[in-house]
Structure 1
Amino acid sequence: MEDENEFLINVSDDNSASFFHQISHEKGGNWDGESLAFLDQNGDYQVVSFSYPNGMIVGVTSLLLKKKLRLVNKPTKSEKYVAIRIGFNGEIKNLKNREHTSEGIFMYNAAQPYEVTFPINTRLQWMVIRFPHAYFHQWNEKTAYKLKEVLQQHDQWFLYYRLTPEIEALVRETYKVSMNEDLRRIIFFARAYEIIGRILLLVEKEENELFATNVHAEDLNLMLKLKEDILSDFSSQPNLKALSEHYNMSLSKLHRTFKAVYQMPILKFFNQHRMEEANRLIKYSDKSIYEIGENLGFSSLSHFSTTFKKFFGYSPNELRS
């Protein structure tokens, strides 16, 4: 049964140009092969996307919704490809009780279904990079690397990684150039190359396994919602008992399912993202370092500074200066 307070969009990464043309026709927008922008009763949409001769697709999307959006990705077997979606909130305002946090790097193959619900009144932005398996093998000449092993699998697989400051800076640079019609096509391509390289480097350096394979679609969708819940308020540690009751799962199943998707325990996941949020706020907001630490749940400025430096290797003051 459809919820009258939300609207549904079915997407498939195998033909983005066809998808944008369809959306343009349905919503009264104008897709010119590169960009799409329209405003209707559901919200404000802006898309810039390019297809390249090697099969790579690179695009950015910005949404400000008046209705909740349920985005459903349907798997395809027509082509083998890898898709990367990198999301972040476009406006940094409240540090507490955020309705939604879209920050994160999602990488998956053509066989992976998923469903995400986006809330109203929040500027949401993400970048998409999609490339065929064959192109990746030609581009990366290493004979052994972790992603190569995963690409050889026919089953669905999924990777989530927190949005690091280095990759976020590249994504933000891509957004900045998206309105420059003379430069954006080549800059999108160049930034996509660098982002892919940095993600591969993260994967290779990570000691733990990052790829989740054959995760049931319902479990994945549930854990995507759980991620939003635990990262919606960084001022205190997640209440695991309350979460298990909310999702009608035992604590052991909650831990087991979460780790199957995100490859780490819930509290470690939360603490890593809290540090990335601190880095983001120091760089992109005008909040004082003391205020940022306090709102992120640290008991004192010294505790915040010590934890921050241990995680990043530099202090909050060094980052801001």
Structure 2
Amino acid sequence: MTFSFSATPEFDFITCFAQHIQATLRDGMLEMPEKLGQGFIRKIAFGPDFKITIHHYLLQEDLIIKRSTSGLGNDLITVFFYDNEQPLGIAYDNNPHVLFSQRDESAIQVTSNDLSSTIRFPAHQRINYVVVAIKPTRLKELLGISNPNSVVQTITRSGSSFLFFERMQAEAKLLLKKMAAVDMSDGLSNFYVQNKVQELLYLIFHSLSLRESAAHQTINSADVARLLHIRKEILSDLSVPPVMRELAQIAAMSETKLKHLFRQTFGNTIYNYYQQARMEEAAFLLKHGKHSVAQVGYELGFSNLSHFSRLFEKHYGQNPKRFSAS
């Protein structure tokens, strides 16, 4: 199932989606028709400049949501929290879907409203995500940061074009589950959800506020498509370190531009991002696979197991052998 829309200022997702699937919308709640699956979409407004949509469902077929920019301005911030057991497919500029993650499927995305995107949600898997739509002035007021770094300044400044990704930590995952499970017949449910949403916003903007301040480079949908492709290349074989010259050729960017945009979007250098993914893969294999420490080290390209142990301990506070046994 594919749902396409143009991100105009007056667009209301839940109303148009209900019409698309021929479902009834009651008091901001859309129950999924049995022929499509089970679950719900719920919209809650905390004023004209701050709204959220909660998605909690299991579908019989893949759901593909295509958002195209309207060209009518981008005075809206979208914060997208996704937590699911399956990888999230995100594509930009009509490129093929790129899996956002291999082992840790959860993601947080903060974007301006002027980037076209395609998101695929897999069938037969519990989908649990929240979309926050908020105006820059309202967000700035909520955050109340007196001296924001360049990232927060970019997001809260009207007219900026941006996209930032963050990994989702356990605390945010728990908040999403609580929001999906709230008793909607409770008269205070909206108040409860608003508090949880503000906790989610605190978590993501706390992380973003810790990023190094640097001059923001405007980004477009084609740039993001290239960056996600580069990310896929980096993660496709974690036993081989990334070669900047080759990645720049693949991205059709200068090395300088690629380095800057990658760090700006993902919050880390390409090499550090690769090393972090490498350690996460090692942790996954040690915990869930039937691999010895030596097998994991060699599989991830370490010829020196002492170096692998030191690097792993730096990331997790335990050497691989102790981590595997714990």
Q: So what's the TM-score if we normalise by structure 2? A: 0.68
| Aligned-partner Cα distance in 2 for 1:181–1:291 | 51
Is the Cα–Cα contact under 8 Å of residues 6 and 70 in structure 2 kept in the other structure?
no
Matched, 1:82 2:54: no
1:137 is aligned to 140
Question: Residues 237 and 137 of structure 1: is their aligned pair in 2 closer, same or farther, counting only changes over 3 Å?
Answer: same
Query: How many positions carry a matched residue from both structures?
Result: 301
Q: Residues of 2 paired with 1:308 and 1:99: CA distance?
A: 25
Q: Aligned partners of 2:7, 2:24: CA distance in 1, in Å?
A: 20
Identity of aligned residues (%): 14
SS at 1:138 equivalent? helix
| 1:107 Cα deviation from its structure 2 partner | 1.0
Q: Which residue number in structure 2 is paired with residue 222 of structure 1?
A: 226
Larger CA Rg, structure 1 vs 2? 2
The match for 2:159 among 154, 161, 168 is 154
Cα distance in 2 for residues equivalent to 1:228 and 1:65 = 28
Match of 1:95 in 2: none
Q: Within 5 Å, give how 1:104-253 maps onto structure 2.
A: 104-110=107-113, 112-118=114-120, 120-121=122-123, 123=125, 125-146=128-149, 149-150=153-154, 151-175=156-180, 177=181, 181-182=185-186, 185-207=190-212, 209=214, 212-228=216-232, 230-231=234-235, 233=236, 236-237=239-240, 247=250, 249=252, 252=255
The equivalent residue for 1:28 is 22
Query: In 1, Cα distance between the equivalents of 2:20 and 2:196?
Result: 31
Residue identity in the other structure for 2:133: R
Summarize the Cα distance change of 1:262–1:235 in structure 2 as closer, same or farther, 3 Å threshold: closer
Q: Give ranges in structure 1 of 5+ residues lacking alignment.
A: 1-5, 93-97
Superposed CA deviations along residues 242-277 of structure 1, whole A, max 9, x for unmatched, are 8667x5737837556544543543332233345567
* Distance of 1:234 and 1:122 partners within structure 2: 28
Find the aligned partners of 1:319 and 1:193 in 2 and give their Cα distance. Answer: 36
Paired residue type of 1:20: I
Distance 1:70 1:109, change over 3 A: closer
Q: What SS class does the counterpart of residue 59 from structure 1 fall into?
A: strand
Taking a change above 3 Å as real, the CA distance of residues 276 and 10 of structure 1, as seen in their structure-2 partners, is farther
The CA deviation at 1:163 is 2.4
| TM-superposed deviation, 1:25 | 1.4
The 1:50/1:274 distance shift into structure 2, 3 A limit, reads: farther
Match of 2:66 in 1: 71
1:72 counterpart SS class:
strand
Shift of 1:197: 1.3
Letter in 1 for 2:146: T
Q: Which SS does the other structure have where 2:25 is aligned?
A: coil
Query: Among 39, 45, 54, which residue is 1:51 paired with?
Result: 45
The alpha-carbon deviation at position 220 of structure 1 amounts to 1.5
Structure 1 residue 125: Cα displacement: 4.2
Q: Kindly tell me: are residues 153 and 30 of structure 1, through their superposed partners in 2, closer, same or farther at Cα, counting changes over 3 Å?
A: closer
**Residue 287 (structure 1) aligns with:** 288
Distance across 1 between alignment mates of 2:82 and 2:116: 15
Equivalent position SS for 2:54: strand
SS at match of 2:193: helix
Q: What is the alpha-carbon root mean square deviation over aligned residues?
A: 4.5
**Could you give the per-residue CA deviations for residues 88-135 of structure 1, whole angstroms, max 9, x where no partner exists?**
33348xxxxx9663532211233x313134275574543212222222
User: Which residue of 2 is the match for residue 103 of structure 1?
Assistant: 106
- Distance in 2 between the 1:315 and 1:58 partners? 42
Counterpart CA distance in 1 for 2:192 and 2:278 is 31
Change (3 A) 1:222 1:297: same
Q: Judge conservation of contact 1:290–1:301 (CA < 8 Å) in 2.
A: no
TM-aligned CA distance change 1:289 to 1:178, over 3 Å = farther
Closer, same or farther in 2 for the Cα pair 1:57/1:263, shift >3 Å? same
Q: For residues 202 and 248 of structure 1, do their structure 2 counterparts lie closer, same or farther at Cα, with a shift above 3 Å needed? A: closer
Report if aligned partners of 1:65, 1:120 keep a CA contact under 8 Å in 2: no
**CA–CA separation in structure 2 for the residues paired with 1:107 and 1:203:** 10
* Bigger Cα displacement from structure 2, 215-224 vs 179-188: 179-188
C-alpha deviation, 1:201, in angstroms: 1.8
Residue of structure 2 equivalent to 1:266: 270
Distance 1:140 1:260 in 2: 21
With over 3 angstroms needed to count, the CA separation of the structure-2 counterparts of 1:121 and 1:218, relative to structure 1, is same
Contact 1:104 1:161 in 2 (8 A): yes
